[in-house]
Amino acid sequence: MSGVAQAKVTDKDIVNDQATPGDVVSYGLGPRGQRFSPIDTMNTKNVKKLAPVWAFSFGGEKQRGQESQPLVQDGIMFVTASYSRIYAIDVATGDELWQWEARLPDGIMPCCDVINRGAALYGDLVIFGTLDAKLVALDQKTGKPVWRKTLGDYKAGYSFTAAPMIVKGKVITGISGGEFGIVGKVEARDAVTGELVWSRPTVEGHMGTLNGKDNGITGGEANKTWTGDLWKTGGAATWLGGTYDPDQDLIFMGTGNPAPWNSHLRPGDNLYSSSRLAIDPDTGKIVWHFQTTPHDGWDFDGVNELIAFDYKDRGKTVKAAATADRNGFFYVLNRENGDFIRGFPFVSGITWAKGLDKNGRPIYDEAMRPGNPADSEDGKKGKTVWAVPSFLGGKNWMPMAFSQDTGLFYVPSNEWGMDIWNEPVNYKKGAAYLGSGFTIKPIYDHIGSLKAIDPKTGEVVWEFKNNAPLWGGVLATAGNLVFTGTPEGYLYGFNAKTGEVVYKFNTGSGIVGSPITWEQDGEQYLSIVSGWGGAVPLWGGEVAKKVKDINQGGTVWTFKLPRS
């Protein structure tokens, strides 16, 4: 392997990932997911010297959306690609060391393109998930499989696209499939062997397990916030994965929409859908929860990352966590107990709710809930409403960043709305379970909006408007820099304090991946995956016309700031 000796990745390496500039061994540049690098070598004055040193193509005819975040350790990059592929690359040269591709069955049913968001490193293994809902551990040196485990039945609609997370020697996974009436869950496996330690379903009424034995029903009882048997096909998929706060020793995992989308079929809050869950990593017990959209009728989900951060309030340190929800509101919670601290809109013109109450619960405008088909003359279509934001969200999966220097969150957001209506639907295994129709439409001349947000006040300190929707992750650095990519193919660098564009490079295809940075041999590197796709061209309605001419791709671009 180019003469490089691979050191085994430890739990300590992962917990300290944010503070070690020589590698990136976890998704989010550390378990908290702040995506902040302490490297200040590159700054607003010298960033214009940042230049590409190599570009690695994933090759073949299989392109589509490339939403991956690379990992780098001991001079080797590990990066996943569409169609459940993974590559090892020599960072010094851009040469491929090995590649591995899953043999996918014909019947996979991914909701939102054939993407993969990244891998996890532990010991001498690299671990990632596949579209047929399997988890695979490969030897870092050879790329040969060491173990394989099944996460769910792909024929029932289960799939897997997230980056796994390592917490205390366990690999933590969620599951995708919320559009198919699956039951969401969070699971922990021994990272060395792949053996299941605990499983925690995320729909109220289902039994959890610990070490092969029953470990309590989620929520305590069935039917409490669900009607009839709907909890058995309740959705609440954990499709984005989670973050981990070592201070509180808690996993933060978001859950997706309740199933079906038609909310009139399932009265009640429908726990624990559209929520953030704090989970004990040793037992899988839910310690606290916060539901952003109770009785979700718009597919707003609650999966977006919850990022732990501290701030000062009247001289005291507040242990907080923040999330920018699909529903258009930004929430700041007490991460010790889940209590609501504050919340505010981060996109304009929200129609479905009038605001948040003192506990952070939305104040619904019931006239803006899609109508009940049973109230229509023929029973086939309920009243159409104009909902802002659209179901693709004020912010979707694309991770935001938090700068420890500026105290700001950098949120990749979108300004759009939708006509949405409800229809009758019945559950059938492996079939779409929506009961809704929709058309997404732009609101302004632009859709994408990168916003620098002060979590203490809700102030938008600066905003960068982009013609096409933003669908890629964000990186902040101690060099007063913020990086992200656009569907138009540009890697942008911004002044973190002012929003001034200080760097711009065209990668040749739309960017929907997440950038990373690290130091090697005294030089600062930056990498991002380019390759257009994801949910927008598949689900985007009128908005999809804005991006119909963007070319697909599949390339890892790696840049370096030269010593001179």
In angstroms, the Cα distances linking 46 to 43, 85, 490, 561 are 6, 35, 19, 8
Which residue in the block uniquely carries the two structure tokens 């169609």? 83
94 token code pair: 């851009």
User: Residue 21's CB: how many other CB atoms inside 10 A?
Assistant: 18
Query: Which residues, in sequence order, are bridge partners of residue 170?
Result: 167, 190
Three-state DSSP class for residue 49? helix
Q: What share of residues in the chain are helix, strand, coil (percent, to 5)?
A: 5, 40, 55
299 is annotated as contributing to ligand binding: yes
Instruction: State phi, psi for 20 to the nearest 5 degrees.
Output: -110, 100
Which residue in the block uniquely carries the two structure tokens 């009247």? 314
Question: What string of H, E and C letters represents the secondary structure of 160-210?
Answer: CCCCCEEECCEEEECCECHHHCCECEEEEEECCCCCEEEEEECCCCCEEEE
- CA–CA–CA angle 478, 482, 487 (5° rounding): 155
DSSP 364: E
User: Residue 354's CB: how many other CB atoms inside 10 A?
Assistant: 12
Q: Is 299 a catalytic residue?
A: yes
Whether the CB-CB separation of 167 and 205 falls below 8 Å is answered with no
156 token code pair: 């029932």
422 is annotated as contributing to ligand binding: no
**Residue tagged active-site, from 296, 299, 301, 325:** 299
397 is annotated as contributing to ligand binding: yes
359 is annotated as contributing to ligand binding: no
Beta strands in 460-511 (DSSP E): 460-466, 474-477, 481-485, 490-495, 501-506
Distance, in Å, from the CA atom of 473 to the CA atom of 482, rounded to the nearest integer, reads 11
209 is annotated as contributing to ligand binding: no
Q: Give binding residues for Ca(2+) as ranges.
A: 179, 257, 299
Q: Give binding residues as ranges.
A: 67, 117, 161, 179, 257, 299, 396-397
Catalytic residues: 299
Q: Give binding residues for pyrroloquinoline quinone as ranges.
A: 67, 117, 161, 396-397
